[in-house]
Amino acid sequence: MKQSDFLKIVFPFKNKVFRFAKRLLVSTEEAEDATQELFLKLWKNKEKIADYKNIEAFAMTMTKNYCYDRLKSKQASNLTLIHSNYQEKETSLDKKIEYQDSVNQVHRLIQKLPEQQKIIIQLRDIEQYDYDEISKIVDMQPTAVRVALSRARKTIRQELTKTHNYGVS
């Protein structure tokens, strides 16, 4: 496989890989390293990956595994799971603060979810993968992915409702 062909295959999902790595790793630098390592591995095995039907799902699975390995390693003992994918829009300052507070609250609630639910929310709601692709990445049945996502969303919705209704009779 030529370099140009390889780039045509992997370029469309490079940002998804980075965002997923960033979801799992604490720093932008760690996510960049993970992304670079993944694409290096893909390049080294470019002849083998040409046989895969869904290279993107394969790459996301590799990213997940690499990030888990980094999180488990001794040198990564200070890493935690976070997500900071918010980009500001031109709105009034009070709306920006209110929106940022809501985003931070959702991030905190996501952090409290079980690990698998965190990943499924990232892949479905942020990266927009379909259930079949997610099921391959996390090695679960599509029905189990739907159930986990539903439970995660319900937990977040209930916690947000509690917070917003606090003090209201």
**Is there a single domain that holds both residue 94 and residue 20?**
no
Tens digit of each residue's pLDDT (9 = 90 or more) over 61-96: 888 888 888 877 745 455 444 444 445 455 677 777
- CB contact at 8 A, 120 and 145: yes
From 82, 98, 115, the end of a domain falls on 82
The pTM (predicted TM-score) of the whole model is 0.56
If asked whether residues 72 and 102 sit together in one domain, one would say no
Among 141, 147, 161, 143, which residue's Cα sits nearest to residue 117? 147
Q: Based on the domain organization, do 133 and 91 belong to the same domain?
A: yes
- 168 and 141 within one domain: yes
For residue 143, the model assigns a pLDDT of 94
The tens digit of pLDDT for each residue in 89-109 reads 556 777 778 777 878 888 888
Cα separation of 74 and 8, whole Å?
36
Confidence of residue 169 (pLDDT cuts 50, 70, 90): very low
